[in-house]
Amino acid sequence: MDVKKIQSDVVVVGGGFSGMNIARILSQNGLSCNLISGGYGASEFWNGTVDLLNYPGDNIELELAKFQVSIKDHPYAKLSLKDIQNSLIEFNRDFTKLSIFQEDDKLVNRHVITPLGTTKLCVGNWNSIFSTYKDFTLDTKCLLIEFAEFPNSTAPLVSLGLKETFPGQFNVLTINLATVFSLMNSEFTEYLEEGKLSALNLAEFFDEKVLHLAPVAEIIKKEFELQFPDLKFEELTHFLFPAVMGLEHTQTILNNLSTFLNTECWEFLVFTPTVLANRLINKMERKLEIAGAINDHSKILVDLTSEESVHKWNCHIRNSDGEITILNSKYVIFATGSIFLHGFFRDQLKMANQFLSLGLDFPESLNPHFEIISSHANSNIFVVGSAIFHFSTNLGEDDEIQDGTGLGMAIATSFKVAQEIIAREKTN
């Protein structure tokens, strides 16, 4: 049987944030991109923050320099602060719902409250997540909303963390979703009755009711009087809701609630990150579609061969039915996460032998542009995001997790590689 062969400028292997980001940038710059993966992987667990470097100091430039000296094999050793800042600014232009923390045009680390009530450092977050803790004073009266039937709410832990860290009063108000759904004649009552209510269901409910939230505000006011008879509603300064307030219309939902409650409304992080992850994934997929990139989540890379005469690579792709297609391209980007390995990446020894047969170094094989070193000319095979950790024997899962990298590294490494490819195309 003849194997179907498809031409493309770029093949991106891995559909997480780093893979989608580089496909977005390259497609927007006129290159044809095929993005293939077996799923999203760790990106589905994104918790709404732009983690970069979880070091205690506020001076990112200094802390990054210290980090680069201490862990020379880390991906950050190949990134300048300018690389990182430019990547986040470019990302923020396309994804305005993501706030990047800057002061005097410089990146800054800020503390945010985690679902456990502890604090961590990050350089940005989804713009509906509350992060201006410096505004809290002794006069602050903050009410955290907990939905009784939502099992992954973290309101009590977050409230405790806020009490221990910041001035002000922080209380938790429990709202019964059965009452909300019944009052609003919602079909979501069935999810409650069947015990199938999920974070995504709850987000869909608020999207559906985005323009009809007055009953929710009235329930909150009534329950406040019952649960806190000694407090005055008009003295409340903040409402914090769990991060399930819609997928598509979050800011409008919070703005409308702010109007009805006459107090600013925000979200706080919860144990179930699927809503926040889906918000960003959905927006990234729309950008890919608009840019003309092909995005296929049902295929995996099973082999890599070369066409030396034309300096191109053949990516052998298998779909869910076992059928093989060859994607022929000038550039190949590995963006597979380190948590979920399959296909070509499952057997590290086999992959190493295949690389060596193609004249490619493995491991310890990346140049300053995150390009796999070749015994010939430029290989045009790059590695971005968590996939970089596959290519060093001196780095492990602990190095990937403990240093705070996350979305920040995915954006920065994919942006740097994209700029290198764009520059090469301009010189050709």
- From the number of C-beta atoms within 10 Å of its C-beta (0-12, 13-18, 19+), residue 194 rates as exposed
Could you count the other beta carbons within 10 Å of the beta carbon of residue 1? 5
pLDDT score for 60? 82
pLDDT score for 351? 85
Question: Are 147 and 288 in a shared domain?
Answer: no
Which residues, at least 6 apart from 308, have a Cβ–Cβ distance to it below 8 Å?
none
- Per the structure, the complete domain to which residue 158 belongs is given by 130-268
Residues of the chain with pLDDT > 90: what percent? 58
User: For the ranges 254-263, 289-298, 301-310, 334-343, which has the lowest average pLDDT?
Assistant: 334-343
pLDDT score for 25? 98
Question: Are 302 and 176 in a shared domain?
Answer: no
pLDDT score for 56? 62
Question: Are 61 and 197 in a shared domain?
Answer: no
Question: Are 150 and 249 in a shared domain?
Answer: yes
3 state DSSP class of 316: strand
Could you count the other beta carbons within 10 Å of the beta carbon of residue 428? 5
Question: Are 135 and 256 in a shared domain?
Answer: yes
Q: Say if 119 falls within a structural domain.
A: no
Q: Say if 116 falls within a structural domain.
A: no
* The overall pTM is greater than 0.95: no
> Residue 391 — pLDDT band, cuts 50, 70, 90?
confident
pLDDT score for 249? 96
Q: Which residue has the higher pLDDT, 56 or 412?
A: 412
How many CA within 13 A on the CB side of residue 299?
Answer: 21
- Picking from 223, 244, 268, the residue at the C-terminal end of a domain is 268
Buried b (16+ CB within 10 A) or exposed e, 174-183: ebebeebbee
Question: Are 284 and 258 in a shared domain?
Answer: no
Number of domains forming the structure of the chain: 2
- pLDDT above 70 for 402: no
Q: Say if 98 falls within a structural domain.
A: yes
- pLDDT above 60 for 251: yes
Q: Say if 373 falls within a structural domain.
A: yes
Domain with residue 180: its CATH number is 3.40.50
Could you count the other beta carbons within 10 Å of the beta carbon of residue 25? 24
- φ, ψ (nearest 5 deg) of residue 426: -70, -30
Residues in the chain: 428
d(C-alpha 313, C-alpha 307), whole Å: 6
Question: Are 249 and 283 in a shared domain?
Answer: no
Closest Cα to residue 328, out of 26, 6, 34? 6
Question: Are 192 and 215 in a shared domain?
Answer: yes
405 and 52 Cβ atoms separated by less than 8 Å: yes
Q: Which residue has the higher pLDDT, 309 or 36?
A: 36
3 state DSSP class of 302: strand
User: For the ranges 17-31, 210-224, 312-326, which has the lowest average pLDDT?
Assistant: 312-326
Rg (CA), the chain: 24
Question: Are 257 and 293 in a shared domain?
Answer: no
Summarize pLDDT for 406-421 with one digit per residue, the tens. 899 999 999 999 999 9
Question: Are 168 and 218 in a shared domain?
Answer: yes
- pLDDT above 80 for 33: yes
Closest Cα to residue 240, out of 337, 128, 325, 331? 128
Question: Are 363 and 381 in a shared domain?
Answer: yes
Q: Look over the chain and give the mean of its residue pLDDT values, rounded to a whole number.
A: 89
Question: Are 217 and 264 in a shared domain?
Answer: yes
Q: Say if 318 falls within a structural domain.
A: yes
